Structure 1
Amino acid sequence: MVKVRRLSMYLFLSVAAFISIFPFLWMIVSSTNASVDVTRGRLLPGMHLMDNLRNLLESVNILNAMKNSLIVSVSTTLLALLIASLAGYGFEIYRSKAKDVVFNILLLSMMIPFAAMMVPLYRLFGKITNLVPLIGIDTLAAVVLPTMTTAFLIFFFRQSTKMFPKELLEAGRIDGLSELGLFYRVFVPTMKTTYAAAAIITFMSSWNNYMWPLIILQTPQKQTIPLLISTLGSSYTPDYGLIMLAIVISTIPTAIVFFVMQKHFVAGMIGSIK
């Protein structure tokens, strides 16, 4: 009976794993085929990988789009980790009567859909363009600023800080560390798994961000990789083999970040839940 249950469990997990990974495998296989083979549903690797790659490099500037996405994603991730961790640390460590009220208002902001903020944000950056063109419309900075931290990340760091041993802070104060010294020299090294989990979440979200860059970026030179792929798919006669290859290339950075930090990600998520 135990063997039957175990066999059933492994069978179910195998089917679930295949269903989960099949779209990615099909995408890789399709990137090696011609467009007509992709539309026919060919499931075997083809011989058109180099042709698709050459056509991709000749038709669009994918390297520039990758560079723009890296600039946006890395900048957003670094700023989000700094701001959200400082806020989460402050909300949990320091006591104040108004602290919980402010935190609850912050959480309420998660209920506002981004669609409701698009027009006000665009008008705001339109006015900023006249004053400070470097962070106005059609700049990468305008993509980073509205997304450099979120209420979710602040909540995530606050929940993780609940598990932080407060005795370390008391020991640091006895040794003469300032409050910022306690944060950078005690809190940050101790909570590296939480930072890793937050970095993966933020990087992947920023890398795949489509709606706000579509609104604020107006020239092809400033396109990020999701906008480039959308442009390829909206042509009159889309080359699906070329599109699949572009998607495969676009997933490489996020896959590298996730697999490099996978162990820290799991530990950080478990710590925040506890």
Structure 2
Amino acid sequence: MKTTEAILETNKKQKEFYNNNSKQNFFTTIWAKFRNGLLNTIRKTIGIQDQAYLLHKEWFGDLSNKKVLDLGCYSGNYWSLYLAENAKGYLGIDLSDVAIAKLNARLKPFPHAKAEAVDFLSDDFTEKDFDLIYAYGVLHHFENTNILIDKLNEKLAPKGEIISYDPLQTSWPIKIIRTLYRPFQSDAAWEWPFTKKTFYQYQKAFTILDRRGLLGKSKWNVFVAFLPISEEKKKQIGQQWHQHDWEKSRTSNRVLFRCMHLTMLMKKK
């Protein structure tokens, strides 16, 4: 398991990768087309992505007295400007100074909001006492979960909360695919989808107030798409499977671990 120093070195490579728009190799490109193509179409068609975003907004609650950290926000995620506009204080951070320059330009209308290019684990990042840390697609970029959890706890205010969204590698089909793909993956050094062990580490470290799994049964809509049935019927099947994932994963680990994605609302103990 990597030390903080080793992770900081890896993050320098990650910064270069995104700053220079480094090209993905053939295998990573194929995976991206599957993930951002067919799977993304399914997410949009049956409303998975919108439902997750709306749940995050619900989890934000009243932001007027909250100091918010938008962790790994790049040039701004779906909710970055909303958080910047409505929070008492907003700080977006990312490794990429190129992306942060773009975000700072977008933040000009909000005098209480700013963005910085800094590594979350670095001693250069000194701000703390955040009431909310929004980490969309970020926590799985840290190989050493214990180091990350310690840093999250250090940066959170008492009773502070974390909202996360990350890929899971817990269902056997996805685990097999990712294992075969990993040796050829361009960004493998900083891509660590959650395992069961990872989930239990977060469960031990924080109070999980709510959680939802996505793309469990509904991931099989990839194959339903090829059936000789109407588009409306395909949509209905996908929505039924998604709602099963969405509701049952709140309390059932068995259902949760069949999903491809996990979103959580966690509170500092």
Q: Provide the TM-score with structure 1 as the length reference.
A: 0.26
Which structure has the highest helix share of the two? 1
Which structure has the highest strand share of the two? 2
Larger relative contact order, structure 1 or 2 (CA cutoff 8 Å, min sep 6): 1
Q: Provide the TM-score with structure 2 as the length reference.
A: 0.27
Instruction: Tell me which structure has the larger Cα radius of gyration.
Output: 1
